[in-house]
Structure 1
Amino acid sequence: MIKHIFSDMDGTLLNSQGVISKTNTDIIKASKIPLTLVSARAPMEMAAVIDCLQLSTPQIGFNGGLIFQRQATSWHVLQESTIELATAAHIYQLVQQKFPNVSRSFYDRDRWYAPRIDAGIQYEHQLTDQIPTMTASTEFFADATHQVFKLMLITFDPEEMTALQSCLTDLNLAGISIQQAGAAYLEITSDQAKKSRGIDYILAHDHLVKADTAAFGDGYNDLPMLKRVGYPIVMANAQPDIQQAGRVITKTNDEDGVGYGIQHWLSQGGQ
């Protein structure tokens, strides 16, 4: 019997417009199975779905870099892992110099920062409805009290993405994780920010074992999560190599694949 569900958001629980459908919402609420969102998103970008589903369980943001619970006007932090500020500044400035056309932005726990409004920022705004705080990066990184949970780099040029990822990987910087999310996003977090680490926290917190859990995902950053649960379910819109990590393949995110999976497999005890 499945006692806890974990779900990625973009490309999984949310449709192509970045919205959770009424069908998914209704099925999740009716299932009565506790749900934890496991996302690369910041808490503020998860808030609308948390509120829609009335989730009171711990949630996982920044690919596992932040484990938190929703409170009335704030977030109760249970565990956090940030990028060393000097490392974040080094990466940011290097990208600015070598890849000036790449969209650059970064997050602390409560805000999204960007130096300019470009195509990447506009694209992210359309998905999350968030508005970045305009900031001079040199001033931000000079303040030792600041935290950086995620650097987000966006390019719609596949060749530029390959070069960018190769450049950053070749730096061999300690303490960071570099993951491509979808075709256009490259996200840098703490190397402690893993979706599986967030799941381990929930399992210990709720006294669960692997067999009690299921997860939905569609991306490469979901693989640690899918391998950590007892019943991994992969979206039909995922790449073929990611689908191999699933016990079953559900429908696409535009066909309410999460709701379909809950109804057809998890509500029946994951048989």
Structure 2
Amino acid sequence: MKYFISDLDHTLLNEQAKLSLETIRVIKSNQLPLMLCSARLPRQMDPFIQQLGLTGPQVALNGALVFEGIGGDRRIQAKHAISLSIYQQIKELMRKKFPDYPVTWMDEEKWYLPRLTVDLTPELQYCQADDYIIGMNQPLNDPLLLLIVIPDADQFKAVFTCLQQTAIPEIQVVNSGDGYLTITGQGVNKGLAPQYLLEHHLAAPKEIVAFGDDENDLPMFKRAGISVAVANAAPSVRMQADIVGDTNDNDGVARIMERLL
């Protein structure tokens, strides 16, 4: 039996950030074992978990959090945080070199923004009002993921290169698509999703099928038995996939799932 792992945005979800009726039908009618693996907060994954009737482990924040259940019934299975001292180093580096881009952060519950900027304001339209808090200067506890939103491609490349070259070995810097530069602890990435299934004997390596569209999905591809890119995926992701399916708007994930049953 295949065990499926799928990214959400631009992969399992269509471009309206919704599950199509066909995707819901394929997953529910076949009772497919599915792990969602996203850069989103757990609370932003809850509606899709509920729609699909999923009961197994799910992965949020690019691998930093593994959980089961939704809302008040959520149970944390694994958590990988970034220390406050590392956060301070990154914040100070950004303040000196790229002051226009604040370092925001997430824990298992919310997204924290020190201040609003012209780049951050549009992103809030994708959030519910209780998903985020504006005006906190620094985390009270170790954050799970740092997020810097940089829509301009040249500026994104400059910040990305700077952070990759910094002498902070405890971090992993990832392009999560849509101008999202995410930072997690070293070794914390979406590859922890298939690793969790293997360590908990939920699937054999060859049974794991991973779906994705962007560079942050590649660690997941490397640990899966079969990797699948949707047709709208980044070229580098399509090149490294075992299978390239249809686009997310054409139910690419659901079609491949049915083919592999």
TM-score w.r.t. structure 1 length? 0.89
Check whether the contact 1:7–1:216 (CA below 8 A) recurs between aligned residues. Answer: yes
Check whether the contact 2:64–2:80 (CA below 8 A) recurs between aligned residues. Answer: yes
Check whether the contact 1:18–1:127 (CA below 8 A) recurs between aligned residues. Answer: no
CA distance in 2, matches of 1:14, 1:125: 19
Whether 1:187 aligns to 2:182 is yes
CA distance in 1, matches of 2:230, 2:224: 16
Q: Please report how far the alpha carbon of residue 24 of structure 1 lies from its aligned counterpart in structure 2 after TM superposition.
A: 1.2
Q: Which amino acid aligns with 2:248?
A: N
Residue correspondence of structure 1 range 76-155 to structure 2 within 5 A: 76-129=75-128, 131-137=131-137, 140-141=138-139, 143=140, 146-155=141-150
CA distance in 2, matches of 1:72, 1:185: 25
Q: Please report how far the alpha carbon of residue 214 of structure 1 lies from its aligned counterpart in structure 2 after TM superposition.
A: 0.8
CA distance in 1, matches of 2:113, 2:232: 30
Q: Which amino acid aligns with 1:206?
A: H
Q: Please report how far the alpha carbon of residue 21 of structure 1 lies from its aligned counterpart in structure 2 after TM superposition.
A: 1.8
Cα deviation 1:57-99 (Å, max 9, x = unaligned): 0011111111111145142111111111111122123223422
Check whether the contact 2:112–2:136 (CA below 8 A) recurs between aligned residues. Answer: no
CA distance in 2, matches of 1:128, 1:258: 24
SS at match of 1:92: helix
Query: Residues 126 and 256 from structure 1, CA distance in 2 versus in 1: closer, same or farther, beyond 3 angstroms?
Result: farther
Q: Which amino acid aligns with 1:96?
A: R
Q: Which moved more, 1:209-218 or 1:113-122?
A: 113-122
Q: Please report how far the alpha carbon of residue 107 of structure 1 lies from its aligned counterpart in structure 2 after TM superposition.
A: 0.5
* Gap runs ≥5 in structure 1: none
Q: Please report how far the alpha carbon of residue 250 of structure 1 lies from its aligned counterpart in structure 2 after TM superposition.
A: 0.7
Check whether the contact 1:65–1:192 (CA below 8 A) recurs between aligned residues. Answer: no
Q: Which amino acid aligns with 1:245?
A: Q
The residue that corresponds to 2:23 in the other structure is 24
CA distance in 2, matches of 1:124, 1:54: 28
Superposition CA RMSD, Å: 1.8
Q: Which moved more, 1:56-65 or 1:9-18?
A: 9-18
Residue correspondence of structure 1 range 156-175 to structure 2 within 5 A: 156-175=151-170
CA distance in 2, matches of 1:118, 1:104: 11
The residue that corresponds to 2:65 in the other structure is 66
Residue correspondence of structure 1 range 249-260 to structure 2 within 5 A: 249-260=244-255
CA distance in 1, matches of 2:99, 2:249: 34
Q: Please report how far the alpha carbon of residue 50 of structure 1 lies from its aligned counterpart in structure 2 after TM superposition.
A: 1.1
Paired residue total:
260
The residue that corresponds to 2:191 in the other structure is 196
Q: Which amino acid aligns with 2:149?
A: I
The residue that corresponds to 1:232 in the other structure is 227
% identical equivalent positions: 31
Q: Which amino acid aligns with 1:196?
A: G
Check whether the contact 1:5–1:213 (CA below 8 A) recurs between aligned residues. Answer: yes
CA distance in 1, matches of 2:142, 2:220: 25
Residue correspondence of structure 1 range 202-213 to structure 2 within 5 A: 202-213=197-208
Q: Please report how far the alpha carbon of residue 34 of structure 1 lies from its aligned counterpart in structure 2 after TM superposition.
A: 0.6
SS at match of 1:244: helix
CA distance in 2, matches of 1:7, 1:123: 26
Cα deviation 1:197-247 (Å, max 9, x = unaligned): 221111222342111111111111111111211121111011222112222
Alignment match of 2:217 (pick from 213, 216, 222): 222
Whether 1:266 aligns to 2:260 is yes
CA distance in 2, matches of 1:52, 1:78: 22
CA distance in 2, matches of 1:166, 1:156: 15
